[in-house]
Amino acid sequence: MTSLIFGDPVAWPDHDVVGISTEFSIGMVVEAYAHGVFPMPVEVHGSPEMAWFSPRRRGVLPLHGLRVTRSLRKMVKRYRVTADTAFDRVVAKCADPDREGAWINERIATLYGQLHQRGLAHSVECWDGDDNLVGGLYGVGLGGLFAGESMFHDPERGRDASKVALVRLVDFLNGAGGERLLDVQWRTDHLATLGVIEIDRYDYLDRLRQVLPTPAPSWASMPESWSI
């Protein structure tokens, strides 16, 4: 699975960053995800660059391994959930510089907006009873891969709304059929409570090869009703 841009995984360094570039384009990003790599902005000697990651230990959420607590099931009923109706707003919420660990900059937001326009990036939105956007997530979809990028929730109006978006995404992907992979980049303690596990880089790349030929799901058909 050698990439024309990122080379042979066997030659990648023994850490999560496999490359750094000043260039950042749609072609590079699509090539990256198709080969198990994703971008995040960094500064090198004060200059903005793009780092390209392929974690040695990759976080994935098995679609049949999701943990949904009783309280989360009850929380789901509070929200209306949609897909691809407010992509730019979800990205903007995820990029809020006041959020702890915020990393999304203008280059990322602009390019992923372009990916969305091409049907390669998608969002899941949670709305409260007053039609306020209170949570959501976004990521890249290629074939049977959905690579989650970021999620958010409104701490006052949308407690657990990001979890609801994730659970709803899993429900949707399970219903789409075929071999699918939900990538969350890294396993965190928070994500582990939902069933996220770690797998080796090469195991991830093997799974990626298997799912890329799977037809992409029809995001326009994602129902707002709850089926879990």
Q: Which tens digit of pLDDT belongs to each residue from 80-105?
A: 999 999 999 999 999 999 888 789 99
CA-based nearest residue to 104, from 46, 147, 42: 42
| Amino acid identity for residue 172 in this structure | F
Residues 6 or more apart whose CB falls under 8 angstroms from that of 193 comprise 67
**SS3 category, 192:** helix
**Alpha carbon distance 157, 1 (integer Å):** 45
Report, as ranges of residue numbers, the positions in the chain whose pLDDT lies below 50: 227-228
Looking at residue 227, what is its pLDDT?
44
Contact 208, 60 (CB under 8 A): no
CATH topology of domain 58-221: Aminopeptidase (3.40.630)
**Alpha carbon distance 100, 110 (integer Å):** 21
Q: What is the pTM of this model?
A: 0.94
Looking at residue 205, what is its pLDDT?
98
The residues spanned by each domain of the chain are: 9-55, 58-221
| Amino acid identity for residue 43 in this structure | E
Looking at residue 225, what is its pLDDT?
55
